[in-house]
Structure 1
Amino acid sequence: MQLRQQRRVQYAHWKEECRKLDSHVGSGTIITAPIITEYGEPIKDPLVLMQAIPSANSDGSDGAKAGKFDERITDQKVIQWKLTLHQIGLDVLRTDRSLVFYEKQENLAKLWDILAVYAWIDIDVGYCQGMSDICSPMIMLLLDEADAFWCFERLMRRLRGNFRCTEQSVGVENQLQSLASITQVLDPKLHQHLETLGGGDYLFAFRMFMVLFRREFSFCDSLYLWEMMWALEYDPDIFSLYEEPESLNEKKEGSKDKVKSIRQFGKYEQENMKNGGKGSQTPLPISVFLVASVLKDKSDKLLQEARGLDDVVKILNDIAGNLDAKKACSGAMKLHKKYLKKAKKP
Structure 2
Amino acid sequence: MTVAGASAAGPDDDVPPAWWRRPLRLVLWAALAVFAWFAVSRLVGAIDWHAVADAFGHVPAWVILPLLALLLLRQVLNAVPLQQYVAGLSLFRSLQNDLAAYLVGSFTPPPADVVVRVSMFRAWGVDPAAGLAGVGLNTATFYAVRFGVPVVGVVLLLLGEGVESRQWVTALVCGLVAAACVAALAMLLRSTTLAAWMGRQAGALVGRFRKDVDPQAWADYLVDLRARTSDRLRTGLVPSLLALVAMVLADGSMLLLALRAVGVPMSALTAVDVLAAFLVAYPITLMPMFGFGIMDAVLVGAWTTIAGVAWEPEIVAATIVWRVVTIVGPLVLGLAVVAFWRRRAGDSTDDGATAP
Q: TM-score category by the smaller chain? A: under 0.3
Determine which structure has the larger helix proportion and give its number.
2
Larger RCO (CA under 8 A, 6+ residues apart)? 2
- Scaled by the length of structure 2, what TM-score is found? 0.20
